[in-house]
C-alpha cells in the first residue's frame, strides 16, 4: 500500500484490535468518514476476496459524499485498478475485496440486505437514525470465515435525531478509548472521539467559520459540532427524566381494588392508535413496589401500529378499535371509560357524528382530556417521570408490557424550534396518550372526581 497520511485520531483508530467494535463519535470534520474508508481499504488488503464490506447511510445523497471520499482514496492507492460500479454502488478492489455502499432508511430497505453476509459493517452518520432498531438488525448480517474477525464501526456527530440513544449506548460508558462491554451487542466497544481541530488536512480556521454560519441560531449545536461534546442539551425530550430502572415495572396480574383507573386514548387510523389502562395509587404497596399516593401506573397498552413503522397505524376504524379496547378492559375486569384527545370529539360531518360517538355506540365512553397546552402536559409528564422512585411524591410508572411506549417515548426528539416541545414528526402517539391520561388527573385535582 502506498503512503497515506493519517490524523492522530485515524492513527489511533487503525491501531485498535480488529475484535473491538468502534463508535467514532465526534465533531464535524474530524475525519470520521475518511477513517471508515481507510478501515474498508485495510480490511480488503488483509482478507482479499473474502472481505465483504458494507458501508451504510440513511440516504442516497449521503452515499454520494462517501463515493467521493472512496474515489479519492482508492484512486490514490490503486489508480485505475479499483473499479466502481456506480449504478450498484459497488467497489471491486484489485485484491478481490468487495465494498458495497448501501442505503438504509426503512424496514423495506432492509430487505436488500436480508440473508446476505458481510465481514465489516460501517455505519456512517448514525445520528440520523432516531432509533437503533434497524441498525441493530443489520448485525445479523455479519458472518465470515472463522479467521476473519467480524466488526461493526459506527460514526456519528452529536446533536442529531439519534443523539440520545447513541450517547447513552456508546459515549457515557467507559470514556474515550477505553473498551467496555455494550449491552445490546454484548461485544467490546471503544468510543473514539475526534474534532476538526485535530484534522490537519482541512483549513481549520475556514472550517470553523463555515460551521458557525451553518448554525447561526443554534449555539448548542455549534458547540457540539465544534467540540464533539455529547452532553449537549439537544438530546431526546425525556432523556433526563426517563430511566427504565426507576420507571418500568414487570406486568401486573390485576389492578388492586383500592386503585382508581381510567383509559387514556389517542385516536389514529392511518396513524397509530394508542390506548392505556391508567391506574392511580391511593398510596399502596403492589407487586413488590410502593406507589406513593397519586402515583400513576400505565398498566396495559393497546397500540394499533405497524411493526415495521412506528409512525403508521393499522387502518382500524373507531368501531374496530372500540372492540379491542373492550377486550382489553375485560382482561383487567374494568369498565371501558376514560379520556381521549380533543380531535375525537369533533363532528366529522358524517351522519355517524364524532369518533367519540362511534366509541360510545360500541360501549366505550370517552371524555375530552382536560384542555391544556401541550407544554403544560409535557411538564406534568416529565415531573412525574422524574419523581418516580421517590417515597413521598407521586411518580409515573410504566409496565414493561407497554412495548410501544418503551420503543418510542425514550427516543422522542425535541422540537428544534420550540425546545420545550416534543418534535411531533416522530412517533409521539404513546407520549400523547400518556399526556392525556395525566391531564385527567389535573381535572380530578381541581374539580373533584371525574364522573363518567
Out of 3, 5, 80, 350, name the contact with ligand ATP by CB under 6 A: 5
Query: Does position 201 bind ligand ATP by CB under 6 A?
Result: yes
CA distance 70 to 97: 14
Residue closer to ligand ATP (CB basis): 13 or 398: 13
Choosing from 30, 97, 161, 377, the residue that interacts with ligand ATP (CB under 6 A) is 30
- Nearest approach in angstroms of CB 157 to ligand ATP is 5
The residues, ordered by sequence, that sit 6+ positions from 289 with a Cβ below 8 Å of its Cβ are 249, 397
Asked if 7 interacts with ligand ATP (CB under 6 A), we say: yes
* Composition of the chain by helix, strand, coil, percent to 5: 35, 20, 40
Is the CB of residue 161 less than 8 Å from the CB of residue 413?
yes
Contact positions with Mg ion (CB under 5 A) in 155-174: none
202 interface partner picked from ligand ATP, Mg ion, none, CB below 5 to 8 A per type: ligand ATP
* CB-nearer residue toward ligand ATP: 202 or 326: 202
34 or 406: whose CB is closer to Mg ion?
34
- φ/ψ of 322, rounded to 5, equals -60, -40
Q: Which three cell numbers stand for residue 404?
A: 410501544
Q: What φ, ψ does residue 368 adopt, rounded to 5°?
A: -65, 140
440 binds ligand ATP (CB under 6 A): no
C-alpha cell at 357: 360517538
Residue of the chain from 25, 31, 292, 410 that contacts ligand ATP (CB under 6 A): 31
**Shortest Å, Cβ 33 to Mg ion:** 3
Residue in the block written with cell 449504478: 87
Q: What's the DSSP call for residue 198?
A: G
Give the span between the Cα atoms of 60 and 87, in whole angstroms.
11
Neighbours of 73 (CB within 10 A): 17
**Among the listed residues 22, 25, 33, 358, the single contact to ligand ATP using CB under 6 A:** 33
Stretch that binds ligand ATP, among 1-9, 301-309, 396-404, 428-436 (CB under 6 A): 1-9
Do residues 160 and 128 make contact, with C-beta atoms less than 8 angstroms apart?
yes
Residue 5 near which of ligand ATP, Mg ion, none (CB within 5-8 Å, type-dependent): ligand ATP
User: Which is nearer to ligand ATP, 224 or 438 (by Cβ)?
Assistant: 224
Choose between 37 and 190: whose C-beta lies nearer to Mg ion: 37
Non-local (6+) Cβ contacts of 422 within 8 A are 237, 374, 378, 412, 413, 414, 415, 428, 431
Beta strands in 104-179 (DSSP E): 120-123, 151-156
Residue 30 binding target from ligand ATP, Mg ion, none, CB below 5 to 8 Å by type: ligand ATP
Q: How far is CA 159 from CA 7, 52, 142, in A?
A: 24, 31, 29
Q: Which is nearer to ligand ATP, 193 or 410 (CB)?
A: 193
**33 binds Mg ion per the rule CB under 5 A:** yes
Nearest 10 degrees: Cα torsion 243, 249, 250, 254: -160
CB of 114 or CB of 206, closer to ligand ATP? 206
Please state the closest distance from residue 177 (CB atom) to ligand ATP, in A.
Answer: 17
Cell numbers placing 209? 467559520
Q: Which three cell numbers stand for residue 362?
A: 360500541
Residue range at the interface with ligand ATP (CB under 6 A); choices 30-38, 250-258, 305-313, 397-405:
30-38
Which of 25, 29, 272, 377 is close enough to bind ligand ATP by CB under 6 A?
Answer: 29
State the nearest-atom distance from the C-beta of 289 to Mg ion, in Å. 45
Q: Judge contact between 113 and 122, C-beta under 8 A.
A: no
User: Does residue 34 bind ligand ATP (CB under 6 A)?
Assistant: yes
Transcribe 20-44 into DSSP letters.
Answer: SEEEEE-STTSSHHHHHHHHHHHHH
Q: How far is it, in rounded angstroms, from Cα 227 to Cα 11?
A: 20
Site for ligand ATP in 63-122 (CB under 6 A): 69
Count of positions on this chain that bind ligand ATP (CB under 6 A)? 16
| Choices 43-51, 196-204, 331-339, 413-421 (CB under 6 A): range interacting with ligand ATP | 196-204
CA–CA separation, 267 and 417 (whole Å): 26
User: Per rule CB under 5 A, is residue 195 in the interface with Mg ion?
Assistant: no
Chosen from ligand ATP, Mg ion, none, partner binding at 157 (C-beta under 5 to 8 Å by type): ligand ATP
If contact means CB under 5 to 8 A according to the sort of partner, which of Mg ion, ligand ATP, none does residue 410 touch?
none
**Gap between the Cα atoms of 340 and 343, Å rounded:** 8
Query: If we measure between CA atoms, which residue out of 145, 365, 415, 142 comes closest to residue 263?
Result: 365
Q: Which of Mg ion, ligand ATP, none has residue 164 at its interface (CB below 5 to 8 Å by kind)?
A: none
**Given candidates 22, 23, 28, 441, which one binds ligand ATP under the rule CB under 6 A?**
28
Select from ligand ATP, Mg ion, none the partner in contact with residue 25, using the beta carbon and a kind-dependent cut-off of 5 to 8 Å: none
Residues at the site binding ligand ATP, with contacts judged by CB under 6 A: 5-7, 10, 28-34, 69, 157, 199, 201-202
Q: Which residues bind Mg ion (CB under 5 A)?
A: 32-33
Amino acid at each position: 500500500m502506498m503512503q497515506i497520511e493519517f490524523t492522530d485520531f485515524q492513527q489511533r483508530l487503525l491501531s485498535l484490535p480488529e475484535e473491538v467494535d468502534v463508535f467514532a463519535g465526534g465533531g464535524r470534520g474530524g475525519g470520521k468518514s475518511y477513517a471508515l474508508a481507510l478501515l474498508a481499504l485495510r480490511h480488503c488488503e488483509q482478507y482479499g476476496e473474502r472481505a465483504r464490506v458494507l458501508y451504510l447511510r440513511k440516504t442516497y445523497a449521503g452515499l454520494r459524499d462517501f463515493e467521493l471520499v472512496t474515489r479519492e482514496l482508492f484512486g490514490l492507492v490503486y489508480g485505475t485498478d479499483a473499479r466502481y460500479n456506480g449504478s450498484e454502488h459497488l467497489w471491486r478492489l484489485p485484491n478481490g475485496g468487495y465494498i458495497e455502499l448501501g442505503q438504509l432508511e426503512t424496514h423495506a430497505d432492509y430487505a436488500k440486505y436480508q440473508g446476505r453476509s458481510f465481514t465489516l459493517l460501517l455505519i456512517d452518520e448514525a445520528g440520523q437514525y432516531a432509533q437503533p432498531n434497524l441498525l441493530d438488525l443489520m448485525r445479523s448480517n455479519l458472518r465470515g470465515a472463522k479467521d476473519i474477525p467480524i466488526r461493526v464501526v459506527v460514526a456519528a456527530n452529536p446533536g442529531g435525531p439519534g443523539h440520545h440513544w447513541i450517547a447513552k449506548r456508546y459515549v457515557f460508558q467507559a470514556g474515550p478509548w477505553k473498551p467496555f462491554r455494550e449491552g445490546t451487542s454484548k461485544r467490546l466497544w471503544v468510543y473514539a472521539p475526534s474534532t476538526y481541530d485535530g484534522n490537519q488536512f482541512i483549513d481549520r480556521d475556514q472550517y470553523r467559520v463555515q460551521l458557525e454560519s451553518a448554525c447561526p441560531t443554534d449555539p448548542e449545536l455549534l458547540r457540539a459540532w465544534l467540540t464533539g461534546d455529547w452532553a449537549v442539551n439537544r438530546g431526546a425530550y425525556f432523556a433526563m427524566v426517563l430511566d427504565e430502572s426507576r420507571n418500568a415495572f414487570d406486568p401486573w396480574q390485576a389492578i388492586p381494588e383500592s386503585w382508581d383507573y381510567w383509559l387514556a386514548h389517542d385516536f389514529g387510523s392511518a396513524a397509530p392508535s394508542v390506548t392505556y389502562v391508567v391506574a392511580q395509587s391511593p398510596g399502596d404497596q403492589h407487586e413488590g413496589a410502593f406507589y406513593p399516593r397519586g402515583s400513576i401506573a400505565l398498566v396495559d397498552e393497546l397500540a394499533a401500529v405497524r411493526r415495521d413503522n412506528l409512525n403508521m397505524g393499522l387502518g382500524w376504524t373507531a368501531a374496530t378499535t372500540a372492540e379491542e379496547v373492550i377486550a382489553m378492559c375485560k382482561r383487567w375486569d374494568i369498565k371501558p371509560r376514560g379520556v381521549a384527545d380533543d380531535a375525537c370529539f369533533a363532528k366529522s360531518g358524517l351522519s355517524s357524528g364524532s369518533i367519540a360517538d362511534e366509541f360510545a355506540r360500541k360501549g366505550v365512553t370517552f371524555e375530552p382530556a382536560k384542555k391544556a397546552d401541550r407544554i403544560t402536559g409535557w411538564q406534568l409528564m416529565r415531573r412525574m417521570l422524574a419523581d418516580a422512585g421517590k417515597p413521598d411524591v407521586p411518580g409515573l410508572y410504566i409496565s414493561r408490557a407497554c412495548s410501544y411506549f418503551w420503543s418510542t417515548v425514550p427516543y422522542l426528539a425535541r422540537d428544534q424550534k420550540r425546545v420545550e416541545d416534543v418534535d411531533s414528526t416522530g412517533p409521539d402517539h404513546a407520549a400523547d396518550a400518556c399526556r392525556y391520561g395525566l391531564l385527567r388527573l389535573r381535572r380530578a385535582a381541581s374539580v373533584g372526581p371525574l364522573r363518567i
